[in-house]
Amino acid sequence: MKSAVLQLPGLNRDRDMIAALTKISGQAPVTVWQTETDLPDVDLVVIPGGFSYGDYLRCGAIAARMPVMQAVKKAAERGVKVLGVCNGFQILVEAGMLPGALMRNASLKFVCRQVKLEVVNSDTDFTRAYETGQIIRCPVAHHDGNYFADNETLKALEGNGQIVFRYADGTNPNGSVNDVAGVMNEKGNVLGMMPHPENLIEAAHGGNDGRAIFASALEVIAAA
């Protein structure tokens, strides 16, 4: 699997993501700076977490307008897989690549802890290694992870199987509507999620619950 990790000012989880992709795929991803207008030939593009541009205006709003995001949009239109984690999720929403909005946590506080996730849809390129209804652990670290969409959009997301992860067992850390923790586009190749699967992939992390997200994509790409 050939992958790329975007780098923008303020993102601070790129090293974690690079390490996870290298360990799971056996090949180090290329890094792509914000001013690039073209992407290398890759199978997967990842936008990691952090605080791009200091979260000014709205989280991800400035980053979504950088030249590299136009290249990411074009790649996604061609079918390249795109994963946005935490701030990466916010950037995808601000770029119009995923529906909804991510608002300030209901507690108005930064939340950093482990939560439980329900795998709502295991029939995706990112979740094939899980089972529908499976409960996994995953860490979160965010201040603006409160997912919101209007009733009509939520109904469409539910009906299309676009809600991929929910916070489970009362561990919703931010007040997200319907406990939504991760959504994907209609085409099924763009996934955004607030929790950090890259930080739970090996024994040194205390478990490997997040590993299957990357392993699923690797399996699909290898079989193509």
Annotated catalytic residues are 86, 196, 198
Residue 18 CA to residue 128 CA, distance in Å, equals: 22
Residue 77 CA to residue 36 CA, distance in Å, equals: 18
Give yes or no for a contact between 104 and 143, defined as CB atoms under 8 angstroms apart: yes
What is the sign of the dihedral through the CA atoms of 157, 126, 119 and 105? negative
3-state secondary structure of 54: helix
Residue 179 CA to residue 169 CA, distance in Å, equals: 10
For residue 173, how far is the Cα from the chain centroid? 16
* 211, burial (CB in 10 Å: exposed 0-12, middle 13-18, buried 19+): buried
Helices (H) and strands (E) in the chain, counts: 5, 11
